[in-house]
Amino acid sequence: MYKMYINGEWVDSISGETYDLINPATEELISQVAYGDDRDAKKAIQVAHDVFPEWSQTTAKYRADILMKIYQLMMDKKEELAKIITEEMGKPFKEALGEVQNGAEHVAWSAEEGKRTYGQMIPSPTSDKRLLTIKQPVGPVAAITPWNFPLSMVTRKLSPALAAGCTAVFKPASQTPGSAIRFFELAEEAGLPKGVINLVMGKASKIGNEFVSNPLIRKITFTGSTEIGKKLMVGAAEQVKRVSMELGGHAPFIVFDDADLDAATTAATASKFRNNGQTCVCTNRIYVQSSIQEKFVSMLKEKVEKLVIGNGLDPETTIGPLIDEGGFNKAQEHVDDALAKGATLVTGGQRHDNKTGFFYKPTVLSHATDDMLITTEETFGPVAPIYTFETEEEVIKKANDTNYGLAAYFFTKDLNRSIRMYEALDYGMVGCNDIAVGTVQGPFGGVKESGMGREGGPGSLTDFMETKFVSIGM
Ligand code: ADP
């Protein structure tokens, strides 16, 4: 039985309700989970508020030392954490290990950044004054995460909050609470005082509503759909609460005719099919210059057909199940719609014949066009549509023609074009002959309806701190 963690105690929901947690590959029961609501969230928020004065007064070094202990424990338990992730959301074990590594690195990064939250001395215009700024934690934070990175999303949010001196209340996605629960246990083992972080699970709308409407919460940090993100922003506006939003994406992947096609097709396969297409930075639209279209399609087909579908715990597996029936149906709907509107099926396009689980064959479609659903909606599944283009100007226009603005990728050997491209693409992150935008050293986040705020990178604590200006008269 998975319980909530409030004020250092593992507790049932106030209602006593629970729900069943199901493995998406085997459809077997993993555990029962406490199913809370706004009352549990309220209790947890009160605790985060009560312990804030003491926690925020601790030194940055003290907090960094605890975070580094958590980092070490995560590294020690890497395999155990990865297994929980794979069982709950299906990603291949190797990818889950990568997620644990990345998640742990966010903890270490925040520990380091927390020691460098410098204020400033500002030259005064008059000799009888001294002017300065100090940085202070924003206050109790509420964090909500999705199921596609069940552990690294936790650390991306809670570790900068902790390093900055904030307390927090956290809600994981209902499909994937296990690795977050294990993270809370490790934080306790590392000596984090009780009540500094609290975990609630259950009815998302009620918990989310309590997070935005409770005046004790000073900041909301959310990763999930643009639809829910907008609702939370509207709610947070009532009390002018700070928000960080990491929302949906619709990444273009652009290949020019001078690109290294072997590197580009390998990168396109990884970027599209990693986590079965279920990441917000996954490639959604592949634009290929018309002269290399045929060659690109056949090279991509060959690589995609080598992907191995199966249970993520099987070491051979490179593609696990989709998270649930809804995810499966969306992939099928996008493929059906594209085929009806004239796309060509290159490979895949149907269910994989496993007895259990939501397995969809990795799919490539060529001759995709702008009127297809897949061009505008985020698929969040293993479907790669290929479009053609003639000129740089044309492809920039097409790539930017979306309300999303998270990640974009392009491949070319022309340096001047590279510079023009990364400046012109209206996205928060751009991969130039590269797809690895999720590294902890880089600021991760989007523009337009993909959100606001950045996680990781230089200044990753900025969103969790206020700048206070002090004017001293002498
Ligand atoms: P996804 O499609 O990735 O599940 P969601 O935005 O629906 O995206 O979910 C992301 C997170 O937001 C999950 O933890 C989910 O439980 C939570 N969530 C869903 N609805 C709400 C809501 N109305 N208020 C707050 N959080 C919500």
Q: Tens digits of per-residue pLDDT, 261-318?
A: 999 999 999 999 999 999 999 999 999 999 999 999 999 999 999 999 999 999 999 9
Whether residue 246 lies in the annotated active site: yes
Q: Residue holding tokens 């000596």? A: 191
Whether the per-residue pLDDT at 60 is higher than 80: the answer is: yes
Banded pLDDT at 90 (limits 50, 70, 90):
very high
Distance 245 CA to ligand 1 centre (A): 12
Residue 231 beta carbon below 6 angstroms from any ligand 1 atom: yes
Question: Residue 201: pLDDT band by 50, 70, 90 thresholds?
Answer: very high
Identity of the residue numbered 250: H
Cite the DSSP H helix spans in 144-177.
Answer: 152-164
Cα(210) to centroid(ligand 1), Å: 14
Q: How far is the CA of 288 from the centre of ligand 1 (A)?
A: 34
- Asked if 196 contacts 167 with a C-beta cutoff of 8 angstroms, the reply is yes
322 lines ligand 1 (CB under 6 A): no
Mutate to test the pocket of ligand 1, among 144, 223, 230 (most ligand atoms within 8 A of CB): 144
176 alpha carbon to ligand 1 midpoint, in Å? 12
Query: For residue 348, is pLDDT > 80?
Result: yes
Where residue 353 falls among pLDDT bands split at 50, 70, 90? confident
Closest ligand 1 atom, CA of 211? Answer: 25
Name the H helices within 15-59: 38-56
**What per-residue confidence (pLDDT) applies to 244?**
98
Q: How far is the CA of 40 from the centre of ligand 1 (A)?
A: 17
Whether residue 202 has its Cβ less than 6 Å from ligand 1: no
The catalytic position among 87, 113, 210, 280 is: 280
Gyration radius of the chain over CA positions: 23
Q: Is residue 52 very low, low, confident or very high in pLDDT (cuts 50, 70, 90)? A: very high
Mean predicted lDDT score pLDDT of the chain: 97
Q: Is the CB of 173 under 6 A from ligand 1?
A: yes
Q: Tell the residue nearest (CA) to atom 14 of ligand 1.
A: 173
Is the minimum distance from the CB of 301 to ligand 1 under 6 angstroms?
Answer: no
Tens digit of pLDDT for each residue in 374-416?
999 999 999 999 999 999 999 999 999 999 999 999 999 999 9
User: Looking at the predicted structure, is the pLDDT value of residue 355 above 80?
Assistant: no
**DSSP state string for 130-151:** EEEEEEEE---EEEE--SSSTT
3-state class of 168 per DSSP? strand
Q: Evaluate if residue 256 carries a pLDDT over 80.
A: yes
pLDDT at 472 > cutoff 80: yes
Q: Write out the H or E segment, with its range, that includes residue 467.
A: strand 465-473
CA-based nearest residue to 350, from 324, 383, 376: 383
Give pLDDT, residue 354.
Answer: 73
Whether residue 325 is predicted with pLDDT greater than 90 in this model: the reply is yes
Establish whether residue 206 lines the binding site of ligand 1, counting it when its CB lies within 6 angstroms of any ligand atom: no
- Ligand 1 pocket, 139 CB below 6 A? no
Residue 356 pLDDT exceeds 90: no
The answer, yes or no, to whether residue 357 has pLDDT greater than 90, is no
pLDDT score, position 417: 98
Give Dmax (Cα) for the chain. Answer: 79
Separation of 228 CA from ligand 1 center, angstroms?
6
Q: Is the C-beta atom of 144 inside 6 A of ligand 1?
A: yes
Examine the pLDDT at 114 and tell me if it is beyond 80: yes
Contact status, residue 229 vs residue 252, Cβ threshold 8 Å: no
From 157, 171, 203, 228, the mutation candidate for ligand 1 (largest count of ligand atoms within 8 A of CB) is 228
User: What is the rounded average pLDDT of the residues 54-67?
Assistant: 98
Q: How confident is the model at residue 360 (pLDDT cuts 50, 70, 90)?
A: very high
- Active-site residue identified among 87, 88, 210, 246: 246
Which atom of ligand 1 is the closest one to the Cα of 209?
A: 24
- 368 CA distance to ligand 1 centroid (A)? 30
Q: Is the CB of 208 under 6 A from ligand 1?
A: yes
**What pLDDT does residue 233 have?**
98
Residue-wise pLDDT tens digits, 140-192: 999 999 999 999 999 999 999 999 999 999 999 999 999 999 999 999 999 99
Note the pLDDT tens digit of each residue in 334-347.
Answer: 999 999 999 999 99
- Nearest by Cα to 21 from 13, 11, 10, 29: 29
What share of the chain in percent tops pLDDT 90?
99
Is residue 174 within 6 Å of ligand 1 at its C-beta? yes
- Catalytic residue flag (residue 394): no
Averaged pLDDT, 242-262 = 98
